Amino acid sequence: MLKRITGILIPLLTYATLVAQDYVMFETQYLELTNGGHTQLHAGVKKHNDKYHNGENGTTKAYLWYVNTGPYSGQYSWAVGPVKFSDKDKQLSDGHIKDWDNNVGKYTRSHGHIFMMRDEEMTYNPENETVGENILMKRIPIKNGQEHIEAVEEAVQKIARALRRTRSNIARRVYRDAFPDGHQEITLVYPFSSWSEFEGGVRGLPEGFQDRYEKIYGKGSFRKEVMDVLSAHSDGVTHEIMTMVK
């Protein structure tokens, strides 16, 4: 029983530490096209975002990405942010809700609504970017149990340390679900500029990173401390490549 309580308490303490300081968070949801075509949805989302989420007059910007790979490929991801929890205390106007229903809701089924909070300690973000037009999202669902959470977090943290020590020119932002529904999950977000960056088997981390990692932590350490850890303590890694719809 004590182990179970500890496994619940530690993530809550981590979460409390994050929200006690300034934080970066995005509110996201998937949109599955159910009516009409892609062109209609693109136009509807643009109309809604331009009116209610343009980043002006106190509004927060919103973005739409097309999901190219992963379990929700062919769908869309809509995100607004950065946001604060206090933003949710503001009631949406009837006009805002009606506009969403008319321009977005009538074309889609919304699901997978989460608050993605950035973990700054595990994030490497040299240019202080907050949004990428093209992003690779690696979702890591962690097995239940504090030992699994600690093992995965340490693996992700050691990669961040290696990126800092080698002064990598790529960003890797790490997010947690602020309200997990039974399972802890870590999401790694890598912005990229061209699909050609995936040639040669590279999936987010810079080419040759494994060799640089092992120069820091020792030969064979990348497999032992990253690959083997994720295999043993997570339920696999999902790769979602998303491209922004403008």
* Element at 7 (helix H, strand E): helix 2-20
pLDDT of 88 strictly over 70:
yes
3-state secondary structure of 167: coil
- pLDDT tens for 126-150 read 988 778 899 999 999 999 999 999 9
According to the model, what pLDDT value does residue 17 have?
40
- pLDDT tens for 183-220 read 899 999 999 999 998 887 778 888 899 999 999 999 99
| Residue keyed to tokens 């303590």 | 233
- Residues 73, 75, 78, CA angle at the centre, nearest 5°? 125
Domain ranges within the chain, ordered by starting residue = 2-244
Q: What is the rounded CA–CA span in Å between residue 63 and residue 26?
A: 10
Instruction: Give the residue-averaged pLDDT of 31-39.
Output: 95
Choose among 240, 219, 222: nearest CA to 230: 222
pLDDT grade, residue 21 (50/70/90)?
low
pLDDT of 27 strictly over 90:
yes
Q: What is the rounded CA–CA span in Å between residue 244 and residue 61?
A: 14
pLDDT grade, residue 1 (50/70/90)?
very low
pLDDT of 2 strictly over 70:
no
* Element at 49 (helix H, strand E): helix 38-52
- pLDDT tens for 90-106 read 999 999 999 999 999 99
Q: In the chain, pLDDT over 70 holds for what percent of residues?
A: 91
| Residue keyed to tokens 């699994």 | 148
Residues 6+ apart with CB under 8 A from 193: 134
3-state secondary structure of 186: strand
Could you tell me the fold of the domain covering 2-244? Answer: Alpha-Beta Plaits (3.30.70)
3-state secondary structure of 162: helix
Q: CA separation (Å) from 159 to 58, 137, 141, 172? A: 37, 16, 18, 10
Residues 6+ apart with CB under 8 A from 27: 79, 80, 81, 83, 113, 114, 115, 116
* Element at 9 (helix H, strand E): helix 2-20
Choose among 84, 26, 63: nearest CA to 242: 63
**DSSP classification of residue 201:** S
